[in-house]
Amino acid sequence: PLAPTGELVAHAATERHSVTAFNVITLEHAEGIITGAEAAERPVILQISENAVRYHKGQLRPLALAAASMARSSTVEIALHLDHVTDVELLHQAADCGFSSVMFDAGALPYAENVSATASAARWAHDAGLWLEAELGYVGGKPDAPTSAHTAGVRTDPAEAADYVARTGVDALAVAVGSSHAMTERSATLDQSLIERLREAVPVPLVLHGSSGVPDGELRSAVRAGIVKINIGTALNISLTRVVRDTLHSLPALTDPRKYLGPARDAVAATVHTTLTMLAH
């Protein structure tokens, strides 16, 4: 069934557990993620990013409604989350597309501007019945990353994080603790003691972005230290693309996309299953 993000996150937080949000770019991503979650018997969050919406010609509804429809017929609880939104117009479309939550991304703005933009996004979201995540302490690695005020080495300051959450009213906070977006090797080292200090300073659940680059042991420690929502995108694309490449290479006469997208979707399911099983133990 379709479940609210806020409920899945709150439940994970009380159990000192985590809930994983996987990025959806195509229908095959959503199908693979749901198959993997059902095999692991774990709830999961499907997240569609602003970048994925841009890829789909700026259209949010087709992919979102398809993902919501798949979620409704799933045997596990599935939430739908709109990720890394910078465009307020897009934010406002979330309300009638099956989303229960949004990540409003003002992480690249200077502090005072981040606070005021996020506070007004949170007010709108709560009026619309949506759970809102925001980011403080820019997690680098996105393609259009700014280079000046915030770089990948930046860390979230606990005192500033407490002030930020109090002034914006957000429901969850994405923090910069050593991960970076779009890493294709799992070599990130997280500042585990900073995660603990952030958990003590901040009254809302903490979110880790760029989790594809984080090794299993570091991820599990991060959950023990206080991370509740784990965002994974690139790891699925590595699995998916490897199978497409290998299949087309070994069968050069192939033309039916189902013959390479099908096995690629299975690879996404396997990666989701492995990840959820690893995090459950």
Nearer to Zn ion, 209 or 265 (CB): 209
| CB neighbour list of residue 240: distance below 8 Å, 6 or more residues apart | 28, 29, 32, 264, 265, 267, 268
Do the annotations mark residue 209 as ligand-binding? yes
User: From CA 35, how far away is CA 178, in angstroms rounded?
Assistant: 30
Q: Which of 42, 181, 199, 229 binds ligand G3H (CB under 6 A)?
A: 181
Q: Which residues make beta-bridge pairs with 101?
A: 81, 131
**Ramachandran assignment for 142, one of left (phi > 0), alpha (psi -120 to 50 degrees), beta (any other):** beta
81 near Zn ion, judged by CB under 5 A = no
209 near Zn ion, judged by CB under 5 A = yes
Q: Long-range pairs for 259-267 at CB < 8 Å and ≥24 separation?
A: 261/28, 264/28, 264/32, 264/239, 264/240, 265/28, 265/29, 265/31, 265/32, 265/35, 265/240, 266/32, 266/35, 267/32, 267/239, 267/240, 267/242, 267/243
95 near ligand G3H, judged by CB under 6 A = no
- Geometric angle at alpha carbon 210, from 209 and 213, rounded to 5°: 145
233 near ligand G3H, judged by CB under 6 A = yes
Nearer to Zn ion, 42 or 81 (CB): 81
Q: Which of 199, 209, 265, 273 binds ligand G3H (CB under 6 A)?
A: 209
Q: Which residues make beta-bridge pairs with 133?
A: 103, 172
100 near ligand G3H, judged by CB under 6 A = no
Respond yes or no: is residue 216 known to be catalytic: no
Cβ atoms of residues 64 and 77 within 8 Å? no
Interface region with ligand G3H, contact rule CB under 6 A, candidates 124-132, 165-173, 178-186, 248-256: 178-186
Interface region with Zn ion, contact rule CB under 5 A, candidates 109-117, 188-196, 203-211, 240-248: 203-211
* H/E element, 101: strand 101-104
CB of 145 to Zn ion, least distance (A): 11
229 near ligand G3H, judged by CB under 6 A = no
Q: Choosing from 83, 157, 191, 266, which is the catalytic residue?
A: 83
Nearer to ligand G3H, 6 or 140 (CB): 140
Q: Which two tokens stand for residue 121?
A: 């996004």
Q: Which residues make beta-bridge pairs with 48?
A: 82
Interface region with ligand G3H, contact rule CB under 6 A, candidates 67-75, 106-114, 211-219, 264-272: 211-219
Interface region with Zn ion, contact rule CB under 5 A, candidates 36-44, 87-95, 207-215, 245-253: 207-215
182 near ligand G3H, judged by CB under 6 A = yes
Cβ atoms of residues 242 and 267 within 8 Å? yes
Cβ atoms of residues 24 and 52 within 8 Å? yes
Do the annotations mark residue 96 as ligand-binding? no
Do the annotations mark residue 17 as ligand-binding? no
**Catalytic (active-site) positions:** 83
Q: Binding residues for Zn ion, per CB under 5 A?
A: 209
Residues near ligand G3H (CB under 6 A) are 23, 83-84, 181-183, 209-213, 231-235
Annotated binding residues for Zn(2+), as ranges? 84, 105, 135, 181, 209
